[in-house]
């Protein structure tokens, strides 16, 4: 009989190739032979989550972490399952556990931001997103951070984050729309008109298109007024 490591390797290959029935059979075989094999519990938990069996995945990952509580990757994956089960309080605790093991783990810091937002704790969400952005900012993460800062009334900080997001991915109309709205509230109407114009180029049928056209019509936008990137 092949060694456990060989069986897990085969199971993972099947898993990655989409051969889920074969992968499940091998994972289950390993767990029957060794119920305390944390790698099998972890990987099988991810497989059943892909198959939509989230409660089963939760139980498997909780068991894996009970046996090996220092596995930061398993902690993050368990937290993601808890978010999918709409248990943000538990997810936030699990993300914090992962961060206690690996403070620079971007997936844990960003996930904590999502969980805090879902819990309704906007200040904590903004803090987590900001820390995640400093670890490795992508356009989507910066957008989340900017939106959270806007919700807290930190408008100038929100503008900076959203401009960075637009610089990394200039194709997202919701970022341009949010920037335009914030800049309008700050009284910077010419800059707002530029961002509204960008939004209309990206998505002419955007829900704010009518308002954007009114703003643009009421402003004289010179060549030097194009949106600037941070």
Residue 150 lies in a domain: yes
Short-list 195, 196, 199, CA closest to 173: 199
Residue 2 lies in a domain: no
Residue 40 lies in a domain: no
How far apart, in whole angstroms, are the C-alpha atoms of residue 139 and residue 162?
Answer: 8
Q: Are 42 and 34 in contact (CB under 8 A)?
A: no
Identify the domain containing residue 215 by its residue range: 139-230
Residue 146 lies in a domain: yes
Q: What is the CATH number of the domain that holds 223?
A: 1.25.40.10
207: pLDDT strictly greater than 60? yes
228: pLDDT strictly greater than 60? no
Residue 83 lies in a domain: no
33: pLDDT strictly greater than 60? yes
Residue 189 lies in a domain: yes
Q: What is the pLDDT of residue 225?
A: 47
230: pLDDT strictly greater than 50? no
Share of the chain above pLDDT 90, in %: 74
| Structural domain total, the chain | 1
Residue 127 lies in a domain: no
Residue 144 lies in a domain: yes
Show the tokens assigned to 146: 């900017």
pLDDT in tens, 120-164: 999 999 999 999 999 987 999 999 999 999 999 999 999 999 999
pLDDT in tens, 53-64: 999 999 999 999
Average pLDDT of the residues of the chain = 90
How far apart, in whole angstroms, are the C-alpha atoms of residue 48 and residue 190?
Answer: 52
Mean per-residue pLDDT for 78-92? 98
């Amino acid at each position: 009989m092949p060694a456990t490591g060989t069986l897990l390797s085969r199971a993972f290959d099947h898993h990655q190739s989409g051969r889920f029935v074969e992968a499940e059979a091998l994972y289950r075989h390993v767990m029957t032979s060794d119920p305390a094999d944390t790698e099998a519990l972890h990987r099988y938990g991810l497989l059943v989550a892909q198959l939509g069996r989230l409660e089963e995945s939760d139980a498997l990952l909780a068991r894996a972490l009970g046996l090996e509580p220092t596995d930061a990757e398993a902690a993050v994956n368990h937290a993601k399952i808890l978010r999918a089960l709409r248990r943000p309080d538990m997810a936030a605790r699990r993300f914090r556990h992962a961060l206690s093991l690996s403070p620079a783990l971007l997936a844990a810091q960003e996930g904590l931001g999502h969980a805090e937002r879902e819990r309704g704790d906007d200040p904590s969400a903004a803090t987590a997103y900001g820390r995640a952005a400093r670890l490795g900012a992508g356009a989507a993460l910066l957008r989340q951070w900017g939106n959270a800062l806007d919700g807290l009334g930190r408008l100038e900080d929100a503008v900076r984050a959203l401009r960075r997001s637009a610089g990394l991915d200039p194709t997202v109309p919701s970022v341009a729309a949010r920037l335009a709205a914030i800049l309008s509230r700050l009284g910077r109407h010419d800059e707002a008109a530029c961002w509204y114009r960008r939004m209309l180029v990206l998505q002419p049928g955007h829900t704010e298109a009518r308002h954007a056209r009114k703003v643009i019509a009421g402003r004289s936008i010179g060549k030097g007024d194009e949106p600037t990137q941070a």
